[in-house]
Amino acid sequence: MDIDSVGTFTMCHEALKYLKRGGIGRGISSGGTILNISATLHYTASWYQIHVSAAKAAVDSITRSLALEWGTDYDIRVNGIAPGPIEGTTGLSKLVPDEAQNKIEEYLPLYKLGEKRDIAMAALYLTSDAETKIS
């Protein structure tokens, strides 16, 4: 809880001090972007993961609330990425033994584990300027 939920709130709060002043290359009245990374583990129940599920649910709630409040007050975009199982990560190796990884893919929407690059590309997209996306 301390690392995920309290840490996320603390970092967002510290970023606010800078972003509400405009940030690099931004006008006084426009903010910036905050991107929080959560997980999907808490969307359903998982064995022995109550601490992770509670912490990630808190991160999602913080993200939604800050998007509402800071988007309105300071023109700061607050988004979140909630990836499912990502291959080659410590989290996956702790939750799913190697012999079960092929079986878990049958239950995933695309029938495969995510890749670290998937998260990186989503982060780049969500943090790029709207003008760049339109051009």
On whether the CB atoms of residues 33 and 74 are closer than 8 A, the answer is: no
Identified catalytic residue from 29, 56, 103, 135? 56
CA 57/CA 38 separation, integer angstroms? 8
Q: CA angle, corner 109, sides to 60 and 107, nearest 5?
A: 100
**CA nearest to 74, candidates 36, 35, 21, 130:** 21
CB 38, CB 56: distance < 8 Å? yes
Q: Could you say which DSSP state residue 86 is in? A: B
- Residues 100, 72 contacting (CB under 8 angstroms): no
Give catalytic status of residue 38 as yes or no.
Answer: yes
Give yes or no: 103 in active site. Answer: no
Q: Looking at 29, 30, 38, 133, which residue is catalytic?
A: 38
Q: Which residues are known to be catalytic? A: 38, 56
